[in-house]
A and B are shown apart, each in its own frame.
Chain A
């Protein structure tokens, strides 16, 4: 079975500071893709960042970066210079080569950025 675990149900950070959200996953497949999505109160699912498992280099998108540790099956998201608009539910997710692009999601982490 393929699973995704987010061990932090809630986190908070002060504006302009840095926060790291944790994610671990389990799969027996060697080729897969990892994602972080955010879901603000509007319900819209927004892609934050994507990582290909066969690439050793950690993905970055502006203030967002990941720490991908393949051997440990860990995929954490770092948000730098946090902004009030980053307040949202963050979901870690992955899909395998054989899954037909079906995404498996973690339980989510509610991030609150305080002014």
Chain B
């Protein structure tokens, strides 16, 4: 089991600014992921956060827009850069211990960009 603390839980930001979202886990995990959930839609994987190295991004997502850090096995950050209203979404951190096993999710960050 894993308890995930994701901060902030929600934020309202101005166009052109950046927001950093934090994901803290109460135990060391093998895998950490960042997902985006646009309004009324399903979850889409942004990237896999790799400990001590650059994140692995999915098609359609780039490091300049969504820089990710993972300095250790319990913590990761996702930055949404140069925001536009199209970035208004829920961003979720997800972690896993073993391949094929379930993933645990944080409670998400509700981001609104004006």
The A-B contact count (CB < 8 A) is 53
Residues 75-106 (chain A) with a chain B CB within 8 angstroms: 91, 95, 97, 100-106
Selecting from B15-23, B66-74, B75-83, B94-102, the interface stretch reads B94-102
Task: Chain A residues near B113: list those with CB within 8 A.
Answer: none
Task: Chain A residues near B90: list those with CB within 8 A.
Answer: 43
- Interface 1/0 per residue, A41-73 and B, CB below 8 Å: 011110100101000000000000000000000
Residues 18-45 (chain A) with a chain B CB within 8 angstroms: 33, 35, 37, 42-45
**Chain A interface residue count, Cβ-Cβ cutoff 8 angstroms:** 22
**Chain B interface residue count, Cβ-Cβ cutoff 8 angstroms:** 21
Q: Which residues of A contact B (CB under 8 A)?
A: 33, 35, 37, 42-45, 47, 50, 52, 91, 95, 97, 100-108
CA distance A33 to B103 in the complex (A): 12
27 contacts between A and B (CB under 8 A): A35-B102, A37-B105, A42-B107, A43-B90, A43-B108, A44-B105, A44-B107, A44-B108, A45-B94, A45-B105, A47-B102, A50-B101, A91-B43, A95-B100, A100-B31, A100-B99, A101-B96, A101-B100, A102-B33, A102-B45, A103-B45, A103-B94, A103-B103, A105-B43, A107-B41, A107-B42, A108-B42
Task: Chain B residues near A42: list those with CB within 8 A.
Answer: 107
Is B55 an interface position by the 8 A CB rule? no
